[in-house]
Amino acid sequence: MPGNGAVTRSTLRQQIADALRDEVLAGRLQPGRAFTVKEIADQYGVSATPVREALVDLSAQGILEADQHRGFRVPEYSLDDYRGMIEARSLVTDSMFQALIDGRKPFANPEEPRTATALAAVRRRGEEAQRASAAGDLTVLIGYDLRFWRELGAQFGNPYLADFLNRLRVQSWVCAVQHLRHLPDLRGRLWSGHTELVDTLVRRDPARARAIVAGYNAHALALIERLAAG
């Protein structure tokens, strides 16, 4: 059938992107690690086209950087970069939380069935993130934390803000994981206030929501600064 090639290529593209994304966020691909389309294509035994598309997708998400002469590489973010990401994250979440003051969706009526279902799903992601944090399982935590913020951001009705926040959070994890992997035991060291934040938003308390996020950002920044200082 004519469509089979396109479907197969699209599936390969997503599979390769997912695999490389997991490698970067797990810290197995170190900052500065460079590779070519051919190298990845040979590694997975596939053609160059879906690999190139996957790498371009990851570059658009901030997980990889395109190098005009050498292919692609894992970004080498500095501590100043991380501080900038944290600041930008705060600006985005502050804009989102303005919805609580303005009475815009979804929190104008959190008991409306569709809204309640969506918020319950977000809360479940938060519960899983908290369990991973308590267990010190960084890989699982990153996965659920990103899903939590992506799904929470989507509830505010502005896809541009939600997409920007997701990109910032991905980039900040790429930056943080290179430091966090040096800790032998992460139990109790990582933020776990996800469900408290959801409950606060449902209560339509923007001041408390902003305080929770500010505490989260301060905690994350202080931890990475300590680790970066050795």
Judged against a pLDDT cut of 70, whether residue 8 lies above it is answered with no
We find that the CATH architecture of domain 79-228 is Up-down Bundle (1.20)
The encoded tokens of residue 203 equal 């209560």
Where do the structural domains in the chain lie, given as residue ranges? 4-73, 79-228
With a threshold of 0.75, does the pTM exceed it?
yes
Judged against a pLDDT cut of 70, whether residue 1 lies above it is answered with no
pLDDT in tens, 28-47: 888 999 989 999 999 989 98
pLDDT in tens, 115-152: 788 889 999 999 999 999 999 999 999 999 999 999 99
**What CATH code is assigned to 4-73?**
1.10.10.10
Residues 17 and 12: their CA atoms lie apart, in Å, by: 8
Which of 104-113, 155-164, 185-194, 206-215 has the weakest average pLDDT?
A: 104-113
Q: What is the pLDDT of residue 98?
A: 83
- Do the domains 79-228 and 4-73 match in fold? no
